[in-house]
Amino acid sequence: MGTKHAVLRSRLVWMAGLGVSAALAAGYAARAGAESSVAPVTPATSIRVQAASPVDAGRYLVTVSGCNDCHTPGYMQKDGHVPETEWLTGSPVGWQGPWGTSYASNLRLLLQDMDEDTWVQYARIRDGHPPMPWWALKTLSDEDLRSLYQYVRSLPVAGEPAPAFVPPGQPVSTPYISLMPQMPAPVPGTPPSDTPAAPAPMP
């Protein structure tokens, strides 16, 4: 934990050196302080989605990379039939697993408070809880992160902040989807799953 936080702190110092305001960086440090061990990722370079405009590219990226699946309320349950007016407004339904209960943020509100350069840096250093695919965000090229930003900023500010993360074992007051690993119930007449199956008889 200490090492991770030290790494995060040093990255934020680096961000501040790049001209990101120290107060902004400190605020993000508090949000980004979650425990996780996301594998290091090398951002894509010289790869970008081509479209008529950055906003169109961003809309495409958001749609195909699954951001709506979690960050738009009801998107998966309605097979994607959710009007664009509701996209990326965050979800009040949590994801519960061994890490606790996490909620996909309202990205319209998040990006409202951030300029484009800050977003590109933020997307590279932000780690947090599952099931957010942090590695996917980090892998996007700068150009695609910029398109994504411009798309989200083209949408009006809407919705409420998502509920706060709930640590493991603490009471949860919202609906949530369980991602707890489960073992299947034993099927009568079969050996327990940890007993190796009997070897086939030799011919």
What span, in angstroms and rounded, lies between the C-alpha atoms of 102 and 127?
13
Stretch that binds ligand HEC, among 8-16, 125-133, 179-187, 195-203 (CB under 6 A): 125-133
Q: What are phi and psi of 179, to 5 degrees?
A: -115, 25
Number of other CB atoms surrounding residue 173 within 10 Å: 9
31: contact with ligand HEC by CB under 6 A: yes
- Residues in Cβ contact with 42 at an 8 Å cutoff, skipping those fewer than 6 apart: 139
Residues, the chain: 203
172 to 191: interface string for ligand HEC, x by CB under 6 A? --------------------
120: contact with ligand HEC by CB under 6 A: no
Cis omega before residue 131 (within 30°)? yes
Pick from 48, 59, 108, 126 the residue near ligand HEC by CB under 6 A: 126
CB of 161 to ligand HEC, least distance (A): 8
Q: Which is nearer to ligand HEC, 40 or 118 (CB)?
A: 118
Judging by beta carbons within 10 Å of its beta carbon (0-12, 13-18, 19+), is residue 76 exposed, middle or buried?
middle
131: contact with ligand HEC by CB under 6 A: yes
146: contact with ligand HEC by CB under 6 A: no
Q: Scanning residues 54 to 93, which ones bind ligand HEC (CB under 6 A)?
A: 65-67, 69-71
No. of H helices and E strands in the chain?
A: 8, 3
Q: Which residues form the interface with ligand HEC (CB under 6 A)?
A: 31, 34, 65-67, 69-71, 95, 102-105, 107, 110, 126, 128-129, 131-133, 136-137, 148, 165
